[in-house]
Amino acid sequence: MGNKFFLVSQKKMSKRNPIEVFSDWADLDKDFGMEKNHSASVENMLDFALKNQQTPFSFIDAGCGNGWVVRKVAELPNCYAALGVDGSEKMIQKAKKIDPSRAYYCADLTSWTPESKVDRVHSMEVFYYLNDPKIIIQRIFNDWLKAGGRLIVGLDFYLENKTSHDWPESCGINSMKLFSQHEWVDFFKAAGFHSVESWRHGAEKNWEGTLIVTGIK
């Protein structure tokens, strides 16, 4: 159920930017817990994004953390290139240590551009930390994806998922943007994506599930 497994209960805490928080999580090995608790939603996303994928494809994980999704996708027989990018230097250092054979980049997602455009871009639990998620969605459309490529995004912090609304306070993070499912879909459409779809995966009592949004360039 996303970040709710990692929230630290503190009565009063100064808020920090997401990169600082996730760098601390890397030091504390919380990234491995993130992998465990996000794996079902990511499986659902990848199954959809790669269904009937018969031809070779390339892949970027935006906000890759320790690289676990990159490693997973790289093992698929038709994947000829898989790389990750993340804003946390400590996460990227960990990704390179675990998986020295692949490319991992420490960069600001909103300004970074891959050397070559790719067929699939995936991101889990990242975009709402950005000051304006519309910028990265547009940049991926313009500069990351090939024509016919797909962006797929997973989000646990969104308007309909009321359980998540206290995360900025409980996580002590100063930048978390709360939008509705409809708004996220509109962001994709405004960037130029077509065949935009959205659904929720893993809903249960008091938890609306991971919101998944995807579209094709």
Residue 181 corresponds to which amino acid?
Q
Give the pLDDT confidence score for residue 28 in this predicted structure.
Answer: 61
Overall domain count for the chain: 1
Rounded to 5 degrees, φ, ψ at 122 are: -120, 145
Report the CATH number that the domain containing residue 202 is assigned in CATH: 3.40.50.150
Q: What is the pLDDT of residue 26?
A: 59
User: What residue numbers bound the domain in which 160 lies?
Assistant: 2-6+13-216
Phi, psi of 131 (to 5 degrees): -60, -35
Query: Tell me, what amino acid is at 120?
Result: R
Rounded Cα gap, residues 63 and 127, in angstroms: 9
- On whether the CB atoms of residues 57 and 79 are closer than 8 A, the answer is yes
pLDDT of residue 6: 43
Q: Say how far apart CA 214 and CA 41 lie, in whole Å.
A: 13
Place of tokens 């893993």: 202
With a cut of 50, list the residues of the chain below it in pLDDT.
1-2, 4-12
Q: Phi, psi (5° rounding) for residue 133?
A: -60, -25
**pLDDT in the model for residue 10:** 40
- What pLDDT is stored for residue 175 in this prediction? 86
